[in-house]
Chains A and B, each alone.
Chain A
Amino acid sequence: MQTLFKTSYDQDIDHLPFLSEKWRVLLMAALLVLAPFVLSSYLLNQLGMLLVYAIAGIGLMMLTGFTGQVSFGHGAFLAIGAYTCSVLMAKGMSFMFALPVTVLLSTAVGAALGRSASKMHGLYLAIATLAFAVLVETLLGQWETVTGGLEGMRVPALKLFGFDMSGSTARYAIDLVFFGVVLLACANILRSASGRAFISVRDSELSARCLGVNATSTKITAFALSAGINRTCRCADGATPAIYLPRGFRTQGVVASVAHDRCRWHGNPARTNSRGCIRDGSTSGDSRST
């Protein structure tokens, strides 16, 4: 075990106070940067997807892990982000404009959902967010003129400053940059007042309110932030799967939430069953819609 001899309050504010931690993270970053030079394009695509899902995980972590709000609606957030970005780009908007528009829209929808969600707790919140996910999925499936309906939509090739970014190295680079920015931004939030407000609402909403934390606006902020991050992730994903299908996102969101649960409740054997159930449920839902 390492001991840190603290001589300044700044050491409690800094990220990674231990030298060994710094080296470990630096090594990891170096490996991620060097990956395109070593890996085949297939493995690079896989690693890119890993980073995209890591961003989604961070988004869910901010909401469920730190603010204590359950959400099964994150698949829907991913879907809205992915479709918005792609539709805007298909209409001829450049990625540099489509990205901020998508993140803003996403944040606004997240805030709107957060407003109703802030009045609900536990199981009710889970049901409501699940309903939101189903609603979005249905909307995407029915709105054929824009989304291509259940046939799915072809994702336009990604261009940045006139360069074609659909090559695997370029896509990977975008994923990596987004991952780095989101990770740093979230780590920064968690070491400042807003991050502490999230934690306070999770652990005791009662005393948080009595200390001047506006619980409602904190929850709305967390929902908006989380949704914003998730849509960023889908933009980063840009051109990875060539076709988007409405039902593709529901399972992703549910699996992400269940995976998160698994992390929280270390290897409860009953979990395996419950995941199977959820998968069965979504399959029967799919057969109904086709």
Chain B
Amino acid sequence: MNRLVIEDLSIRFGGVTALDGVSFSVEPGEIFAIIGPNGAGKSTIFNLLSRLYQPSGGRMTYGEADLMRCETHQIASLGIARTFQNIELFENATVLQNMLVGRHRLTQRNLLLEMIFPHAIRESERQQRLAVERIIDLLELEHLRYETVRDLPYGARKNVEIARALCAEPTLLLLDEPASGLNPEETDDLGFWLEDIRADLGVTLIMVEHDMGLVNRMADRVLALHNGKTLALGTAQEVRENPQVQSAYLGGAS
């Protein structure tokens, strides 16, 4: 199991410093939450970890691997998977196809062989399908298998996106606002699933979340950001009671 270490991470967009010297580390098996008002730089951390943005300074390592040396498509092979704030599913494909793309990094590909489709390819397709079925089982998505994503309601899409990320067999899962847009009942279910994901699959979780109920219930540690700077880092209760965090959320003297 790998430890994620982020040191002194910064990024500027023109004159805006979106992230200013943020450091933290996430231990294997931990559920780590990142909170903060809009524009605090929460999703920016995820986009930096996915190598979608180029940081202007700092270091990111996952176990032995230096994330700064990776390109976006190489991040998955380190065992890091993610979801997006504005769901990024393959809209015109079925749930099953979406999840099979999740297996991409674990699938051998050879275009010429695929044209001929010999027994070996069929066997590999069966193996990928079995792996996908295990995740379908875990997240209770059986009834959605053959649905086109475009036809699914919002809540179901959220789950499918988590399922697709899990298909990549990650050791670290980045969840960008998993509970946004879900009703209280769906949020409750999500909480149980996240517990299952950690307990059954041994996945380390980092989530950006505004639902403080979910954060209090799930997170081992919480990082509070404001205007790209670290406000507080500690257990959910410590962070909640931090006066600076309270003033950032509720306004008042800063």
User: In the complex the two chains form, is A199's CB within 8 Å of B97's CB?
Assistant: yes
Contacts of A26 on B, CB cut-off 8 Å?
none
Closest Cβ of chain A: how far from B167's Cβ, in Å?
8
5 A-B pairs with CB atoms under 8 Å apart are: A10-B126, A191-B117, A193-B103, A193-B107, A208-B101
Closest Cβ of chain A: how far from B99's Cβ, in Å?
10
User: In the complex the two chains form, is A189's CB within 8 Å of B111's CB?
Assistant: yes
Interface bits A200-217 vs B (CB < 8 Å: 1, else 0): 101110111111111100
Closest Cβ of chain B: how far from A189's Cβ, in Å?
5
Whole-angstrom distance between the alpha carbons of A195 and B116 in the complex? 13
Whole-angstrom distance between the alpha carbons of A199 and B149 in the complex? 13
A193-B128, A212-B105, A221-B111 known, 12 other contacts, Cβ within 8 Å:
A9-B126, A192-B121, A193-B114, A195-B114, A196-B97, A199-B101, A203-B89, A207-B84, A210-B73, A212-B74, A212-B75, A212-B76
Whole-angstrom distance between the alpha carbons of A206 and B72 in the complex? 9
Contacts of A191 on B, CB cut-off 8 Å?
117, 125
Contacts of A215 on B, CB cut-off 8 Å?
73
Closest 9 pairs (CB-CB, A-B): A212-B76, A212-B105, A203-B90, A207-B88, A185-B115, A188-B117, A192-B114, A209-B72, A193-B107
Closest Cβ of chain B: how far from A186's Cβ, in Å?
8
Interface band, chain A: 20 to 34
Interface band, chain B: 35 or more
Residues of chain A in range 130-154 having any CB-CB distance to chain B below 8 Å: none
Partner of B114, one of A194, A209, A210: A194
Residues on B lying within 8 angstroms of A by beta carbon are: 50, 52, 72-77, 81-82, 84, 88-93, 96-97, 100-105, 107-109, 111, 114-117, 121-122, 125-126, 128-130, 133, 164-165, 168
Whole-angstrom distance between the alpha carbons of A195 and B81 in the complex? 21
A13-B88 CB under 8 A given contacts A189-B111, A189-B115: no
User: In the complex the two chains form, is A212's CB within 8 Å of B73's CB?
Assistant: yes
Whole-angstrom distance between the alpha carbons of A186 and B117 in the complex? 11
**Residue A56 is within 8 A (CB to CB) of chain B in the complex:** no
User: In the complex the two chains form, is B111's CB within 8 Å of A194's CB?
Assistant: yes
User: In the complex the two chains form, is B168's CB within 8 Å of A203's CB?
Assistant: no
Residues of chain A in range 207-237 having any CB-CB distance to chain B below 8 Å: 207-215, 221, 225
User: In the complex the two chains form, is B81's CB within 8 Å of A211's CB?
Assistant: yes
B interface majority secondary structure: helix
A211-B102 CB under 8 A given contacts A12-B129, A189-B114, A204-B90: yes
User: In the complex the two chains form, is B90's CB within 8 Å of A199's CB?
Assistant: yes
Residues on A lying within 8 angstroms of B by beta carbon are: 9-10, 12-13, 185-186, 188-189, 191-197, 199-200, 202-204, 206-215, 221, 225
User: In the complex the two chains form, is A204's CB within 8 Å of B104's CB?
Assistant: no
Whole-angstrom distance between the alpha carbons of A213 and B98 in the complex? 13
Partner of A193, one of B75, B82, B91, B104: B104
Partner of A211, one of B52, B92, B105, B128: B105
Measured CB to CB, the nearest residue on chain B to A196 is: B101
A196-B52 CB under 8 A given contacts A189-B115, A212-B73: no
User: In the complex the two chains form, is A225's CB within 8 Å of B104's CB?
Assistant: no
User: In the complex the two chains form, is B116's CB within 8 Å of A210's CB?
Assistant: no
Contacts of A194 on B, CB cut-off 8 Å?
109, 111, 114
User: In the complex the two chains form, is B115's CB within 8 Å of A211's CB?
Assistant: no
A211-B101 CB under 8 A given contacts A188-B117, A194-B114, A203-B92: yes
Most A-side CB within 10 Å, residue of B52, B72, B96: B72
User: In the complex the two chains form, is A200's CB within 8 Å of B90's CB?
Assistant: yes
Whole-angstrom distance between the alpha carbons of A288 and B122 in the complex? 54
Contacts of B130 on A, CB cut-off 8 Å?
9
Whole-angstrom distance between the alpha carbons of A188 and B121 in the complex? 10
Whole-angstrom distance between the alpha carbons of A9 and B145 in the complex? 12
